[in-house]
Structures are given as C-alpha cells and as structure tokens.
Structure 1
C-alpha cells in the first residue's frame, strides 16, 4: 500500500510504502545522494559493504586472537589462569554491552554516527594494545585490553552488522554472512604471528604492531560507512513486488517471513522469544569457550609450535569466519531452524572430538576436528540476526537483536573466568592459587569437565531450537497483543476469521 504522497528530504524525494504485515519502506532516495550529504563524498553500496566488512575484520583480533596470545602473556607476567581469562570475560562484557545496548540506542536516536564510532573505536584499539603490552599488573590489562579494547571492538561489530541490514534490506542473507565471517578470519594473520613469533623477548613489539594496524584499519573503515534514513529501500526495487517474489521463492517456503512486526516487549512475551534468549546464550558460551581455550588446550597437549597446532588454531578461526556465509546458504535450502539444530549439535559433538583427540595426543585428528568445529562455531552469531528477522520482522530488528546479543556477557563468563576457575579447582587448585597467581598443572579430568559442559550447552541449545523455537504464527501474535493489552493491527486481524479472533480475545483478554 503506497501513501501516494511525495515527501522531500535533504537526499531527494521519497514515498512511504506499507506492506500487508505493516513493514514500512521509504522509496526514492539515491544511495550516492545520501552518502554525499552525510560523508561529503558519494559512495555506492559496494563500498558501504566493504566498510562493514573492514569493521568486522579489524575489530575481531581481540576476541579471536586472545587464545593464541594468552599463553605467552600469562606466563610472562606470572598471572594465574583465572587472572588471565578474567581479562577475556571483562572484554566480552564491554564488547557486548557497548555494541548491543548503549551504542545501538545512541545510534537509533542519531546521537552518534557510524563514522564517528569507528574513528573513535580505532583510536581505542591502539590505546588498548599499548596498555596490554605493558600490563605489569592484571588490572592494567582489564582496563586496556578488556574495557577500552572491548569498547573499540564492540563499536566495530555493531556498525558492521547495522550497515548490511540497513543498506541491503532486500538481499541481506549471504552479505551478512560474508561480513560477519570477517569477525573470525580477520584474526588469522595475527594468530599465525602469535604462534610463530610471539615470546617474552618480542611480544611487546608485536602487540604494538597489532594495535597500530587494526586501529588504523578500523579508522579507514569509518570513512566508508553511513546510515540511511530509517526504513530506506533501494529505489530501483519495488518493495511489494520483491516481497511477493520472495514469497514464491524456494527460500521463503522453508523460511517464511514474519507474520507481523514485533516489538522487543512482544518478542519477549512469547515462548519462542524466551527460548531464543536461552539457546543463544548456551550456544554462545560453548562457542566462546572454543575460541578462547582450543589453542591453550592444544598447547597443553604438547602441540604448540608445530604445523598441526598452527593449522588447528588458525584454521579454527578461518573456518569459523568462512563457515558463516555457508551456514546462511544452507539455511536458505533446508530452513533456519533445521540448520541451526544441525550446527549446534555438530558443535557439541565436534568439541568432544577435539577433547579426546587432544588427550590421546593425536595432533592431526585434533587439528582436523578443530577446523571442522570452527565451521559451525559461529552459527549463533549469524542466526541471531536471521532468526529474529524471520520470526519477528525487520522494523525493530536493531532493538530485538540487541537483547539476546547482550547476553554474550553470560556466555563470555563461561568462555573466560568460569572455565578457568573450573580448570583450576578440578586440578586441585584453591582460591589462594587464583589470587597469588600460582602455577597450576591442569589435569586431563579438568579438561574433560569443561569440554563436556560446553558440549552439553550446545546440545541443549539444539534441543530448544528444534522443539520450542518454531516460527510465530498470526495467532501467536494476536495472543501476545491481547495478553499485553495492546490493540490488534487491522492488517493482522484480517488474516484470521472474525469468530476465531473473538474467541482468542475472550480466552486471553484480561
């Protein structure tokens, strides 16, 4: 349904189109006209995609490079395992909180632009690595790497995802997987550097180089990003025709579009929304454990410095990133829910394979399984975006996405400090060892305990996705609106018989 009214903006003329589920489309304004007005120079959607990709690529090193760098840093400064991995947990806290909550709200209100966010984030990354390379006390690392670096990386993550969703509303699938994958494989060059040229004599210089290169890279990305007006849609694509075409496509048969545009409050009032919060958190905890502990585990099993270790550690990050577009493609063939269930299950079982190959000191099987598990380890990040868009609509995707992503803090706690404490205590350590930084020999039983916890988390997440996270129906939406004492939009109410609507109102009304 088109308004028929022409509106004027600083970027040109546009009209407002509304489809049958209430999604709005702002059609008419040219990409280059918008970017020239905002940035001062015109760029097209390809360069905007490049900017989004770069923001993920350079922001990823703190998260995915930590596992390879941690052994040398912890050993050099004499930290306990718990002190070292508490740094990772604090990093996740700041990265997820800043990008998922604070920045998204400031961005939607127009108080900070993507360009300024990345310029600021790049500067923060340089400061973070300078402080990290001089972390003579753990609190310096917590302030530098974790807090300051976490904010910088979080800004990169938040900007990149938003750019793809806003500028490619008609075809975001593989593009989102492409740029999101850079969050993992962007760290591969640095992981290899940390494996082969990172020891107590030169690690500070390498950390300086890391901070300088990723900081400058993120700043350059800031020159290639800008947000379009809310509800923007490319002027050469008919939004209604595009939607009808999608409805007839194979992908939409297995991934039907949302029946309505859900608000965060409505989403959280459904069993599907609640289950998604839990499954995402559990899968995320397992994924972040893999990211932070696969390399230290391989080193502890005697693989450190070898070819198999390099393949396993760097290959995990590489396939974690490259696997994300593949995951999106597979889900378009067999359906999101079925695909996520398979990926989460494989992550859990693959993690156990990594564990027992390592305990048996089989370097090549360990590396192969680490690389294979990496291909599905990032699934939770891709499908957090895709499932929310498919289930709850696009109008509020930024706010809806930020809610489960903020729970990355909980997953990061297991992937960092909690796993480190379990390893310490099961190996016979005490709180005194944690506080004093005493060296602890991690036992095979301790490794088994944490790996099994991660596997169980993955399998529970898979079960929730399959048995609970089914696409909400029109009836689910109406029931939710009634329970929340909200009016039923006419375009939604018209989709079911009036008698059924009245029955639902009588059953669920207050």
Structure 2
C-alpha cells in the first residue's frame, strides 16, 4: 500500500473531531483510543505543566532518605536501641514491602477520584514523620517495625505512586525523560542524609536529629502536594497532533516513533491478561531486588573490606547521586532509542556491576570500588523510570497508577529478598557468593526483557504509525 493510500485509510477510520465544552474536543485514532485536545496546561491550572515535574521531584527527594540513607544509620541505631544488627536490614525490607504494597490500592483510589492528589500527599507526609519518630523514640523493635516499616513505608508509597504517575499524565507525548527526572529525586535526595547519619549522628544526638529531619521532610512533602493538580482523563497537549504527531519539535516526533502511544486504555485486568504485565512484574522483581541488595549491603561490605567510614559514605553517596541522575538520563535515552532496548542494556549493566563491586572490594582497590558503586547505582536506579514509562506506553495513561501499581508491587517481594533474604545469603555464602548471584540474576533478566512487546500493536499498526510520524 502506498503512503497516500495508507493516509487515506487512516483518515477513513478516524472519528471526526467533535466540539466539546470548555474549549476542548475529543478525537479517536484508528485503534479506538480517545484523546482530549484543545486545552492548554495554563488554562487548566493557571500555570505551566513544568510545575508538575518540579513539585513531584521535590517530594520524591524528601522521601528518598528512608530507603537510601537508612542503612548509613545502622551502627548508631543498633547501639542506641540495643537492636540486633539484622533488625536494621529487616526494617528496611518491611519499609520497602509497604512502600510497594500501597502502590496498586492508592492507584485505584486516585483514579476513581476517592483520593485526590492533595489528600494522598498529606497522608504521605504524616507517614513520613511517623517513621522518623519511631526510629527516634520507639521503646522496642516492634514499634519500630510498626512506625518506620508500616507507617513510614505506606506514606512513602503514597507519595511515590502519586508523583511518578502524575508526570506521565501531563507529558503523554514525551514521558521518558520527565518521568526519569522525577524518579531520580528518590535517590540523590538522600545524599545529605547519608553523610548526616554516617558522620554526624551518634548515640548522644540521634533522637533530636531524626526528629528534625522527619519534620522537615514531612513539610516538604505536604507543601509540594498542596500545589499538585491532575489533568482531565485522556488529556493531550494541544500543540501535538495525537493522530499524526505532526509536532514541530523533532524530539517529540522521535519519541513517539520509538515509543508509540498504547493502542487503548487498558484496565488492570486487561493488562494482566495480555501476559506482558506479569512479565514486567517479574523483570522488576529481579532488578529491584538487586538494587535493594546493593543499598543494604554496600556499606557493611565496604566496612568489612577495611575502607574508612567516610569513604564508605562517599561511595554510597556517589551511588545515590548516579542512581538518581541516571534515572533522568536513561529516560531521555529511552525516548530516543526505545524503552525495551534501553531496558535490556540497563539489566546487563546492573548485572555486570555487581561482579565489579565485589571484585574491587576484595582486592582493596578504592578507585575501582567507587567506580563500580556508581555504575551499580546507575543500573539500579534506571530500571524504575523505564518501567514506569513503559507501563504507560503499553497500557495507556488513564489507568497507569493502577497498572504501574501492579508492576511496582513486585517490590513487595524484592525488598524482602534483597534486604532480609540477602542477609541470609551473605551469612551462608559470604559477600562473594551473594554479589555473584545478584550479578547473574541481572544478566538473566536482560534475556527476559527481550520478550517484552507493546500489546495489540501488530506489524500493520507499526507500519501505519511510522508513515504518520514521518509525514
């Protein structure tokens, strides 16, 4: 079929635009997907949609210290409370469990309108401060699990689910870089607290430090959430034609060519039935488990290898910085070259870096240890924005909070495996066996990622979309 014939066929199956109230209209593409076009971001909320990147990014930085800086306080908290060392790793595992557990239910409540964005962020702020209060004042370890693990993890999960998904709704035409940027705050926002907990906080001042930190971070979450707004369902920016992607910006054209919009708005059960979402769930389980393992054990591994405490804190900080900045960079790369291809590359990097971390530590090479830590941080952080953007690409934006909640729920298992079970593996096989196992899992996951495909988009769809995008 010629280009003109394909264009005519496309036009024949597209419903004509119908005027709608409030200056918008709805158009339908050849797959039956509806787009709401005509309204600008400033008309909807009185300011640029860039604020829906900045505010979620700020809130994500605020909740990051609970995961990335927590193990830096291991020695102080264990001594101050008299906890057995393994409790620290299981506390982190429980926190991660509940942070992931709320993703799907929060997504459903958000999409149904029961839980507005401001309410979700306010609840997240409450959970944040309760988590730090538990670490500071819990009289026994059970209350620490309840306060930090349950309330802190649940609060962070509400913030994470809200922030990651709102970005894709405001940037449906080029979500990779924006999602990665916001997601990156969840890592490098912890850097000041890694040094604070490792180098300054001790048994004489820990309760005061944790109280001040908790109040400050909770306020940051609450203030950010107060100014966040959801777009209408099916909203699409008016300067990009959703039927032909005839935007003047070549970045948008390239992004839509490499990562075309989902063929329909899948409900969670429809997404599960495609078989692709369960495969994404398992791939994230493996890669997130490796990431959590590195967060939990890089500090104690560095200590055991004889590196000074300040050096270990520096290595962990570099890991967090690269983990965060890498999320934004990898989102931009995936816009240019495709999500699946980028994910395969990231899984390979994540796996190989685990071998490098162990090798560099075992030979006592500090420069190599720092480099391997940064590469590991890059791979561990990049997976999250990739899966977040890929979920919207494959299943649509309207139900993305629920669909990504299902994918992200794999962290329920990966947190416990990477942190708690990781401690068991280290005890049984030593750090060598544990890091080699983690690296091998990363390489295997890269192979599984080659099987990911956008549901419902056959070769005819791809050919037709390519013509439209190049027109």
TM-score for both structures, normalised by structure 1: 0.82
Taking the aligned partners of 2:368 and 2:108, their CA distance within structure 1 comes to 45
2:287 is aligned to 283
Candidates 440, 447, 466, aligned match of 1:456: 440
Instruction: Tell me, yes or no, if the aligned pair for 2:105 and 2:402 is still in contact at 8 Å.
Output: no
1:184 is aligned to 187
After superposition, where does 1:376-395 map in structure 2 within 5 Å? 376-395=379-398
Taking the aligned partners of 2:251 and 2:326, their CA distance within structure 1 comes to 27
1:200 is aligned to 203
Change (3 A) 1:234 1:272: closer
How far apart are 1:261 and its partner, in Å?
A: 4.2
- Give the CA RMSD over aligned residues: 2.5
1:23 is aligned to 33
Asked which structure has the greater CA Rg, the reply is: 1
Candidates 441, 445, 452, aligned match of 1:469: 452
After superposition, where does 1:93-108 map in structure 2 within 5 Å? 93-98=97-102, 100-108=103-111
Q: Which moved more, 1:265-274 or 1:164-173?
A: 265-274
Q: Which runs of 4+ in 1 moved over 6 A?
A: 243-248
SS in 2 for 1:131: helix
Give unpaired runs (5+ residues) of structure 1.
36-41, 427-444, 477-490, 496-510
Q: Which moved more, 1:73-82 or 1:165-174?
A: 73-82
Change (3 A) 1:229 1:333: closer
Instruction: Tell me, yes or no, if the aligned pair for 1:6 and 1:15 is still in contact at 8 Å.
Output: yes
| Paired residues, number | 449
Taking the aligned partners of 1:413 and 1:397, their CA distance within structure 2 comes to 25
Taking the aligned partners of 1:248 and 1:79, their CA distance within structure 2 comes to 53
How far apart are 1:265 and its partner, in Å?
A: 2.9
2:163 is aligned to 160
Instruction: Tell me, yes or no, if the aligned pair for 1:52 and 1:160 is still in contact at 8 Å.
Output: yes
Q: Deviations over 1:323-367 (max 9, x none)?
A: 012112222343322221121111111111111222223223212
SS in 2 for 1:148: helix
How far apart are 1:66 and its partner, in Å?
A: 1.4
How far apart are 1:394 and its partner, in Å?
A: 3.6
Change (3 A) 1:205 1:102: same
Candidates 202, 211, 216, aligned match of 1:213: 216
Q: Which moved more, 1:384-393 or 1:218-227?
A: 384-393
SS in 2 for 1:25: strand
Q: Deviations over 1:486-510 (max 9, x none)?
A: xxxxx98xx8xxxxxxxxxxxxxxx
Taking the aligned partners of 1:259 and 1:7, their CA distance within structure 2 comes to 23
1:297 is aligned to 301
Change (3 A) 1:32 1:334: closer
Change (3 A) 1:268 1:244: farther
Change (3 A) 1:363 1:202: farther
Candidates 262, 265, 270, aligned match of 2:269: 265
TM-score for both structures, normalised by structure 2: 0.88
Q: Deviations over 1:461-482 (max 9, x none)?
A: 111012x224445459xxxxxx
